[in-house]
Structure 1
Amino acid sequence: MTKNELMNKLKQQLKRLEQDVLQHDSQLPKTQQKMLLDIERFNRSLFIQSGAKLFPCIEQIAKNIEQLEKQFTFKLAQQTMLYHCQRIQDQFTAVKRALQATPLDIKTAQHKKTIKRKMAVKRHQLAHQESGFSWIASHVMQNSHKLYEELNKHLNWQKKMQYKIDILQSELAHCHESDKITRQNEILLLHRRLGKCRQAITYIEERIQLYERPNKNRNYS
């Protein structure tokens, strides 16, 4: 095969592959592009590329073919020329495999995302169980709307307990001596409950911040 025949063959291969890649890239939804964003799909010795779109590979192959064409003018050793030709063929093969592997890569990325989400939920559930606030339903911790409902519930409890403490303290100043101990015990018990309620309010507010922080960036994982 002459130099011209070889170069024409490589350029024709590239043109056909480019059409397949352009079709592949244009048909990928943005959600799937995000899933494959950080995935390395090639050996670094072949391409510097990551993510879903494969057109950067076409650009790199085109540059390699152009360099090969220039190298013919330098009359390099046959072994060197064969090496460069083989490398270009390896790149063609790798891109074709990547085209076929995209659906599997997407399924793998979806599976990893699901596992990551489940692990995050388990971590939150375990942290909740160990927090000392297990009377708050675990499913509440996974829903911002329910978290706000729970916060409002505790804020109302806090207000009611503080109001009752104020009433009891007012009664304490005017009640009979025999009733003072009872009133003091009631006030002490309410102060304990109030302290626990305030701790729960702080805890829920922290959960809301943790829940909403990733949502502000992109989504909750």
Structure 2
Amino acid sequence: MNTQQLVSMLKQQLVQLEQDALIHDQNLAPSQRQSLKDIERFNSQLFAQQGAQLSPCITQLRKDIKQLEKQLFLKLGSNVIQLSCDRIQDRFSALRRALLTTDINLKSEQQRKASNRARYAKKQQQTIQDSGFGWIASNVMQNSHQLYAELNKHLNWAKKIEQKIQQLEANLEFCHSDDKIKLQNDILSTHRRLGKCKQATSYIEERIQLFERPRQIHPR
């Protein structure tokens, strides 16, 4: 095969690859482009290209073929010519392979994201359990309405407990000395209940903020 036939063959291959790449990119759904936007599809020595779209690789291949034509025109050494031909064929092969493996890459990325979500959910659940308020989360984490209802319930409890403490402290002033120790213990115990109720209230308020944050960042 002479040099003109070689260049002609490479250009024909490029035309077919360009058509395939354009069809491939046109058929990509927006969600697929988003899913693969940060994925490197090639060894960096072949193409500096990442994401779902593959047609940008055609520009690099076109430059390679023009460079080969220039080398042939200048009658550079056979080693240089062979190196350029090998690089072009390697890039052709890589692009063809990428055209066939987009679905595999998409499934792999979906599995990776699902795995990350599962790990995050497990970590969140562990955080909830470690907080001591897992019983709240299991009942009210379904939606914001349940969270607000639970918050309102705890605020009412806290108010009633505070009223009970006031009543007990008022009774303490007039009770018999023999009953003071028991009453003081009741007041201390009620204060502990109030503390736990306020901790739960703060926890629920934090969960509400976390629940509402995505809506604040991405308003509908």
Q: TM-score range by the shorter chain?
A: 0.7 to 0.9
Q: Partners of 1:65 and 1:216 in 2: how far apart?
A: 51
Q: Partners of 1:72 and 1:84 in 2: how far apart?
A: 10
Residue equivalent to 2:135: 135
- Displacement of 1:130: 1.6
Residue equivalent to 1:154: 154
Query: Does the alignment pair 1:106 with 2:96?
Result: no
Q: TM-score, with normalisation over the residues of structure 2?
A: 0.83
Helix, strand or coil at the partner of 2:136: coil
Q: Partners of 1:3 and 1:46 in 2: how far apart?
A: 24
Matches within 5 A, 1:202-213: 202-211=202-211, 213=213
Cα displacement string for residues 40-63 of structure 1 (whole angstroms, at most 9, x for unaligned residues): 221111111111111221121112
Query: Does the alignment pair 1:23 with 2:15?
Result: no
Residue equivalent to 2:80: 80
Change (3 A) 1:93 1:139: farther
Q: TM-score, with normalisation over the residues of structure 1?
A: 0.83
Matches within 5 A, 1:35-184: 35-138=35-138, 140-141=140-141, 144-170=144-170, 172-173=172-173, 175-177=174-176, 183-184=183-184
Instruction: Give the counterpart letter for 1:8 in structure 2.
Output: S
Q: Partners of 2:95 and 2:215 in 1: how far apart?
A: 35
Greater shift in the superposed pair: 141-150 or 105-114? 141-150
Query: Does the alignment pair 1:193 with 2:205?
Result: no
Q: Partners of 2:139 and 2:24 in 1: how far apart?
A: 41
Cα displacement string for residues 110-147 of structure 1 (whole angstroms, at most 9, x for unaligned residues): 11111111111111111221222233233645755544
Q: Partners of 2:114 and 2:43 in 1: how far apart?
A: 26
Query: Does the alignment pair 1:14 with 2:25?
Result: no
Q: Partners of 1:68 and 1:139 in 2: how far apart?
A: 69
Instruction: Give the counterpart letter for 2:161 in structure 1.
Output: M
Helix, strand or coil at the partner of 2:132: coil
Instruction: Give the counterpart letter for 2:43 in structure 1.
Output: N
Helix, strand or coil at the partner of 1:137: helix
Cα displacement string for residues 169-221 of structure 1 (whole angstroms, at most 9, x for unaligned residues): 45555x54376655544433222111112212222333444455566667xxx
Q: Partners of 2:130 and 2:51 in 1: how far apart?
A: 39
Greater shift in the superposed pair: 198-207 or 27-36? 198-207
Instruction: Give the counterpart letter for 1:138 in structure 2.
Output: S
Instruction: Give the counterpart letter for 2:84 in structure 1.
Output: H
Residue equivalent to 2:34: 34
Helix, strand or coil at the partner of 2:154: helix
Greater shift in the superposed pair: 196-205 or 137-146? 137-146
Q: Partners of 1:84 and 1:134 in 2: how far apart?
A: 64
Report if aligned partners of 2:128, 2:137 keep a CA contact under 8 Å in 1.
Answer: no
User: Number of aligned pairs?
Assistant: 217
Q: Partners of 2:2 and 2:200 in 1: how far apart?
A: 80
Q: Partners of 1:144 and 1:195 in 2: how far apart?
A: 24
RMSD, aligned CA:
2.6
Residue equivalent to 1:5: 5
Helix, strand or coil at the partner of 1:49: coil
Greater shift in the superposed pair: 129-138 or 60-69? 129-138
Q: Partners of 1:12 and 1:190 in 2: how far apart?
A: 86
Change (3 A) 1:152 1:74: farther
Instruction: Give the counterpart letter for 1:150 in structure 2.
Output: E
